A and B are shown apart, each in its own frame.
Chain A
């Protein structure tokens, strides 16, 4: 999985991956939930961890608050990086 991709999950939801980061060899994504037809964004945002199992890819929503705090810091930093170059 990589940023700027749309992933379809087995619960019939679709997410746009906005940003990613690695923490201790674990990959996390900052994603936005899309509508059913994948045409529009919704107002729901999530932080996923990518989990690989037997050549299949799964995602798991991050629940731990400290981890979330960290991810927000990282993704805010990335956001600053991007706007700084404008």
Chain B
């Protein structure tokens, strides 16, 4: 799709969107009301936001404030707690120490008792040994003098019983002391726990007292964070309100109108550029440079006066402007396979016919014809291009002799355009067509092109044979003697010699060609 068509389609789409917007637009009253509300809210929240931002700028705004009653009572509470903890701690320590002393004493008593028990056991054992020894001696009748009396034996036995009772008591006592010892230890353990608790409380109280000192000089960071969060929320809310306001204030239809206007302007530019591009293409990239060279030559030559001894109607009837536009193009032609002359274009009624005499006084007919053929040939019949270039070239030299630079420039522009189409180029520096000009002047190419063109026409239309013959004969008989004879100075003669040489080449090539109307018609040019 061409750019212009795309833009046209785009324009249509935008128009459709505009219509849709018109149908779905918010009521103007509602829009105005909402806008008022939004503006009011924006103002309110903006003020709040500003206040919060100011507050956040100074941290002293966040110093923690304690109530006066709490501040007065707090030291007493702390003192009471502290005193209580200390008293309890002392009591517990005393209790613990008492128990520890009891434990120590009890252990000492137990040790003493154990020693006594050991002594008693030894004494009992010694006496039992003595009794056993006496009994054994008596049984064996040994050491009669050492025998214990009955009284002594009884005394030992009573003493053993007494010692055993004492031993038993001691053991009971030790058992009891051990039980006491466990109790004292248990009490110590419990007292130690209590002491730890009291110490912990005392420590916490100290921490509180220390914290109290910090709090009195600290900043409420938590509140700062809360306010910062609130600022972020307010900013976000305000942004949303502003976006909504912008949305409500946006006028899509106006914007679309601007876009449509821009598109229309672009379409106009495209149309304008198309015309300009065609003109540029016609003239070719080299035209300006070459025409300038030509004009320089012409300017030089114009310093030599040349008699206009012969004027043709093509040249004499008009005043030529300084700028002559080259033709752009003809309407595109169809490659119709149908050989019939009929075509499908509409009929237009001729409503008036008038003489063009006045018009042709202002506009040169040669330019119109040459320009038209140039444009038409490119689109319709490229093979005829060399012939048209040839004619243009002849007319150029004629106009050169008669000092009509504008016409020269125009004809040269036409030939550059045509030459470009068939691969011929012009050497501006030397003022002659290069070997590639062969497409124009080169005999072989010209011959092939012209003959191919003419024979093609002969196939389809009998009458073209006559035209072809005439055309070839005209080229054959083309004369440059006049323009050459009219050249006086050396430069002009040189140019004319070039022209003559070129024309001679064409003539020489075409001299070997004979065109028989009947042959062309019958054989369709195949014999050529």
Contact = CB atoms under 8 A, between A and B. Distances in A.
B102 to A, nearest CB: 136
Q: Which one of B326, B352, B475 has the greatest number of beta carbons of chain A within 10 Å?
A: B352
A68 to B, nearest CB: 5
* Chain B interface size range: 35 or more
A51 to B, nearest CB: 6
Nearest to B341: A67
Interface in B333-374: 333-336, 338-357, 359-360, 362-363, 365-366, 368-373
B481 to A, nearest CB: 12
A45 B330 contact: yes
B478 interface: yes
Contacts of A80: 387, 390-391, 394, 471, 474-475, 478
A6 B359 contact: yes
19 contacts: A8-B353, A10-B349, A11-B348, A23-B341, A24-B461, A32-B368, A45-B327, A58-B348, A60-B347, A64-B340, A64-B342, A65-B336, A69-B453, A73-B468, A76-B387, A79-B369, A80-B390, A82-B314, A82-B369
Interface of A: 1, 4-11, 13, 16-19, 23-24, 26, 30, 32, 34, 38-41, 43-47, 49, 51, 56-70, 72-77, 79-86
B463 to A, nearest CB: 5
B235 to A, nearest CB: 65
Given A1-B353, A76-B384, A70 B464 contact: yes
Given A8-B351, A65-B335, A73 B340 contact: no
Shortest Cβ-Cβ A-B pairs, 7 listed: A86-B398, A63-B343, A45-B372, A8-B352, A43-B328, A61-B345, A83-B395
Contact of A76 (B344, B355, B373): B373
Interface stretch (B146-154, B163-171, B375-383): B375-383
Contacts of A18: 365, 368-369, 372
Contact of B359 (A16, A62, A73, A75): A16
A9 B336 contact: no
A65 B333 contact: yes
Given A45-B375, A73-B453, A6 B349 contact: no
B314 A72 contact: no
Contacts of B351: 8-10
Contacts of B353: 1, 5-8, 57
Nearest to A86: B398
B329 interface: yes
B497 interface: no
B391 A62 contact: no
B469 to A, nearest CB: 10
Given A16-B356, A43-B327, A76 B368 contact: no
A57 B351 CA distance: 8
Contact of A43 (B329, B457, B475): B329
Contact of B464 (A19, A39, A73, A81): A73
B471 A77 contact: yes
B457 to A, nearest CB: 5
B394 A66 contact: no
A45 B453 CA distance: 21
Given A43-B329, A63-B334, A86-B312, A79 B349 contact: no
A68 B333 contact: yes
B388 interface: yes
A53 B197 CA distance: 132
